[in-house]
Structure 1
C-alpha cells in the first residue's frame, strides 16, 4: 500500500545506504514541475572523507530505494571519491 507523506515530515530524517551505513540527514527537497527531482543530504562525518570533504550531496529521486522512518539510498549511486580515483587510474593505464 502506498503511503503519502508531507515533505515537511521527511526533512531531517536519517539517510542510510543500501548496505546499512549511516549516510546523513535530509536537508532539502528539489522540486521540478511539482514533482520530486532530488534530495539534498547533509553528509555524516563517516562519508565526508569519501566525498572529498563535501558537506552535502544531491541524490536524484531515482536512487532512493525507500522512504519511511528512515531514507534508504542505493550505495552504488553515491559519487564516492575512491571510485572516481580508481576510474581515473584505469583510464590512464588504458591510454598508455
Structure 2
C-alpha cells in the first residue's frame, strides 16, 4: 500500500457518503488545528442532501463534521451512519458540546 502523504486540499470537492451509501454532501473546505496537533479536525460540507438536512439547515450554508467521524478516504469519503444521526441530533439540540461545530 502506498503511504505517500497527500495534500489536504485533495479532500476539497470529494463527495461524502454514509457507510450505507447515502449521499451526505460535498467537501467545500477543511478545518485545521495548526497549534496542537497540526491536523485536519473537521470537514465543511456544502451541496447537502436535501432529504437529510432540508428542515435543519435552512439559512445555513452547510455543516461541519468532526474529522474523527470519518471512516475512510478514497475517491469518496465515508462516515458512519451513527455519525450522521449525531449531526442531525446536534443540530436539533443546541445544548450539546459539538453543536457549534455542526453548523457552518
TM-score (norm 2): 0.67
- RMSD, aligned CA: 2.3
State the shift of 1:17 in Å.
0.7
Q: In 2, Cα distance between the equivalents of 1:69 and 1:12?
A: 10
Contact 1:48-1:55 at 8 Å conserved across structures? no
| Greater helix share, structure number | 1
**Residues 1:46 and 1:4: Cα distance change in structure 2 (over 3 Å):** farther
Length-normalised TM-score, structure 1: 0.72
* Structure 1: 5+ residue stretches without partners: 86-96
> Among 60, 72, 79, which residue is 1:66 paired with?
72
Greater radius of gyration (CA)? 1
Aligned residues: 84
DSSP 3-state at the match of 1:80: helix
Task: Identify unmatched segments of 5+ residues in structure 2.
Answer: 94-104
